Structure 1
Amino acid sequence: MPVKIYHSIVNQLTMFNGYVKGHLKRKLYPFYIRAANLFFAKRSYHAWIQANEPNTADLEAQRTCIFDNMPLFAVVCVFNPSQSIIASLRRQTYVRWHLYILSDSPPLQAEENITFIDISLPSNEIIAQIDGDFIVMLGLNTVLCPFALYEITASININLNGPNGKFFYSDEDSLIGGKRASPYFKPDYSPDTLRSFNYIGTLLVIARELFVQEFTHMPDNIYAVALKCTHNAKGAIVHIPKVLYHTTDNDTRHAAEAISAHLVELGVSVEVEQRSPGLFNVIYEIKGSPRVSVIIPNRDNSVLLAKCVKSVQTADYENYEIVIAENGSTKKDTFVLYDTLKQDKRIRIIHWQGTFNYAKVNNDAVRDSDGAILLFLNNDIEAINPDWIVNMLRHAVRKDVGAVGAKLYYPDGTIQHAGVAVGVGGIAVEYYKGLKTNSTGCFNRLSAVHNVAAVTGACLMLKRELFDRIDGFDESYALAYNDVDLCLRLLELGFPTVWTPYSELIHRESRTRGYEITQTQRQRLEEESAMFTQRWRHILDEGDPYYNPNLSRKRGDFTLS
């Protein structure tokens, strides 16, 4: 019972039969989402712009603002930018900028604040001619909002005395027929998201010392610059959650090469496959064949357990063991199944006594296992694709990753789990719950490997050394939030959670223990909610780093707040 994460669960379970209500919500939710998205796309973004962006008077006030630090921006365009880009620079309310155009065909007449540099010159000579405190890499299809450099300067000043201030990026939207549409409200720095597609975009602001340190040759691929600089800026990356520019086209040329070259430079052996234009899957190498310990708590329901075990046995990965933590089964067919399963030497049954505590059951089962990799499964999980373990393992073995989660469906084919947003929907909510199987989500989110704050313990993989380092699941959370808490503790240590759409499974949520809960369990849920809220108050207040603050805190559907 690891993902009862709605803050209102107590009232829901008290008033209604949970299974019936959950079934109705799954049926109706996709229609609600489509209607809501249509409304927001046509009306709410315009209203959001009016409410959140500076008006004419605000822009005039910005022109007279004096900051403690007034940086000079060296705006760099590789090849000739359009006149609309140059015009957007001239409209800036912050005027300390100089445009450098790297081209082999400069115009006959020079313009104020614009320098043309022959792109055929040696890279060190080009870089030496570029003068500025911050290098602004600008894509050829990027038109700046008039307040863009002002907001960047404000953010630089906010971060003067802290570690964050070497690399800046912002949200964006598109110009379609001359009108603003399709806003992209981005997450904070998400390395795995960036390796799936260039979510950071085409406005990069880089401290000169970082730029000079990283580039001995003048880069001409803005995606490559984003990959390299964000990796090396470490904790000095600032996401400005404001729409600071518009794009008219998305150039994805040489993207796969940029990802591959970046990872090769880091000494990481990968293949990069293109899934669709601009969307990539990085296939990490699994060195050797690490042993995977599959932990499955169980009480009765032999049919589901048999399907779950078969999903592991028929997966295209052989070095595993299965530890079934038996807790309170009473049906004869359950024990008949146990006798059959034990004929496989890779399967062991341990008997766990006591009142059910999800965290403690799993912690104790881990002590009876010996794999370098731990895979926690609910007994109501059934795999769809045979390479699901391998696809999770490719990320779990990485030294810079914490927990790994999968794409889970209800038996009717709608999405049950695509990661967890913390501080949304009360305490936490699962993304896109109830959408159809073929839904792609916001900017292909449901089709891309990306970072999330947490994933469900119903299907969660991580290295044993990390599990031991944080002392496993917190046993104070007997019923709820134990999986989310584990992921957040890993994130605190610098190990982000990865969600992959390439491991697909069916999750018959809570079929074993059901939705009915006792008064004691209800009280326990309330206590655990209060405990989680106190422990993670800073994230609940500040917001999930992977869920933009401009988006709704009521739902995890990426609609505007």
Structure 2
Amino acid sequence: MSPMTPIAVAIVNHNTRDHLRECLATVQLEAPPEVVVVDNASWDGSAEMVRAQYPSVTLRANKKNLGYGAAANQAFVSCTAQHVLLLNGDTLLQPGALAALSGYLARHRRAAIVGPRLVDPDGTLQASCYPFPTPLNTLLENSTTAVVLGRLIRRYIPIVGNSYLRTWPHRSARVVPWVKGAAMAVRREAFDAVGGFDESYFMYFEDADLCYRLNAADWQVHFAPVTTVVHIGGASTRQWGPEMGVRLLASTIQFYRQHASGLRIAEVVLIVKSLMLARWISGGIRLCLTRNACKRAEIAAEMGACRVVVLGNWRNLATCS
């Protein structure tokens, strides 16, 4: 049996100190040759915790939140291994994860990225591979009515749910368009060939964009349940409240502007603005019916975020920290 190709671990963190501590504990049990943490200007003591409790870890502590893609690029520069497992700070590895992922990359030479199976802390499956966005799935995945309908279809008509990447059982390896960046094993050769992450994406869709460019360069992206990674999910982004929903839609539009035709761009802009207008209006109704001051403040913040998109100012949110 040939020796395992060394695989480094690179973690991007922003204000998830306690999760990061647990993540690093599971990583160290795997004894990777290199571990890099890029901290995006956390104010919760994340960088200090890494220095004090994990002195062998290479730490890059940014003074400014550069966004996920830029921080991930820094992590790749800071290690040398030919395979790199890129993680969010709110993930937990199982024993044998690194060997399983590196071994999969070694056996599948055209695979630039392999995404493992992701689960919630309670073991519930997380969707982790997706089709590239279209105007229709942009509508379906951001409409509350469509999301509820999708859950009912998956429950009562499983043959339909099993045919859609977001809802299939995630039980077997397959080539997919793109995988979630919360945990992805990356082949450095391919990553370098396409220039790494596009740093113009501050948050969201930087993983989809990377996979899109890898596909265009004749590499493949795989999902492979060779190991399972626990992903808390939202540990960092929930701190920003409604703004994250706007960032998601802003990055969706950015992806279309870079990779789609003018007609598709116009379609998705119309869909996004319509969705946010509906949320703005429903927020106004809820605001009138709500007396709790804290809840009113949350609703007002959500309405403000929706207003930004409806009025066409999403670019500011797509790039600022």
Specify the TM-score bucket, using the shorter chain as the normaliser. 0.5 to 0.7
Which residue in 2 is equivalent to 1:358?
68
1:523 CA drift (Å): 5.9
Q: Please give the alpha-carbon distance, in whole angstroms, between the structure 1 residues aligned to 2:140 and 2:182.
A: 16
- Contact 2:4/2:99 (<8 A) preserved: no
Structure 1 residues 331 and 535, CA gap change in structure 2 (3 angstroms) = closer
* Structure-2 separation of matches of 1:517 and 1:475: 23
More helix by share: 2
Aligned to 1:372: 82
Q: Which residue of 2 aligns with 1:442?
A: 162
- In structure 2, how many angstroms separate the alpha carbons of the residues matched to 1:445 and 1:518? 30
Query: 2:24 — aligned with what?
Result: 309
How far apart are 1:337 and its partner, in Å?
4.3
Aligned partner of 2:210 in structure 1 is 486
Determine if contact 1:290/1:319 at 8 Å carries over to the other structure: no
- Cα distance 1:339–1:517, how it changes in 2: closer, same or farther (>3 A)? same
Q: CA deviation at 1:348?
A: 1.1
The structural deviation recorded for 1:297 is 1.5
How far did residue 472 of structure 1 move? 0.3
Q: Contact 1:289–1:319 (CA<8 Å) still a contact in 2?
A: no
1:291 matched residue in structure 2: 6
Task: Verify the 8 A CA contact 2:190 2:219 in the aligned structure 1.
Answer: no
Alpha-carbon deviation of 1:389? 1.9
Q: Is the 8 A contact 2:117 2:229 kept in 1?
A: yes
Which structure 1 residue ranges, 4+ long, deviate > 4 Å from structure 2? Answer: 432-436, 521-526
Give the structure-1-normalised TM-score. 0.40
* SS of 1:403 mapped into structure 2: strand
Partner SS state of residue 48, structure 2: helix
Paired positions, count: 246
Q: TM-score, normalised by structure 2?
A: 0.67
Summarize deviations over 1:322-359 as a string: whole Å, max 9, x none: 101122223347614431101x3xx2111122234111
Distance 2:117 2:214 in 1: 20
Q: Which gives a bigger RCO, structure 1 or 2 (Cα 8 Å, sep 6+)?
A: 2
Partner of 1:502: 226
For structure 2, the 5+ residue unaligned runs are 142-149, 265-321
Structure 1: 5+ residue runs without aligned partners? 1-284, 542-561
Does the CA contact (< 8 Å) of 1:408 and 1:507 recur in 2? Answer: yes
Could you say which structure has the higher strand fraction? 1
Question: How much has 1:302 moved relative to structure 2?
Answer: 2.6
Q: Using the aligned pairs only, state the percent identity.
A: 22
2:251 is aligned to 528
Question: Residue 381 of structure 1 contacts residue 506 of structure 1 at CA under 8 Å; is this kept in 2?
Answer: yes
Residues 160-559 of structure 1: pairs in structure 2 closer than 5 A: 287-315=2-30, 318-332=31-45, 335-342=48-55, 344=56, 347-383=57-93, 385-397=94-106, 398-423=108-133, 425-426=137-138, 442=162, 446-514=170-238, 516-517=240-241, 524-537=247-260
SS in 2 for 1:475: coil
Cα-Cα RMSD:
3.3
Counterparts of 1:477 and 1:530, CA distance in 2: 11
Cα deviation for residue 515 of structure 1 reads: 5.3
**Partner of residue 183, structure 1:** none
DSSP-derived class of the 2:238 partner: coil
Asked if the contact 1:406/1:504 (under 8 Å) is kept, the reply is yes
Look up the SS of the partner of 1:530 in the other structure.
Answer: helix
C-alpha spacing 1:381/1:332, structure 2 compared with 1 (3 Å): closer
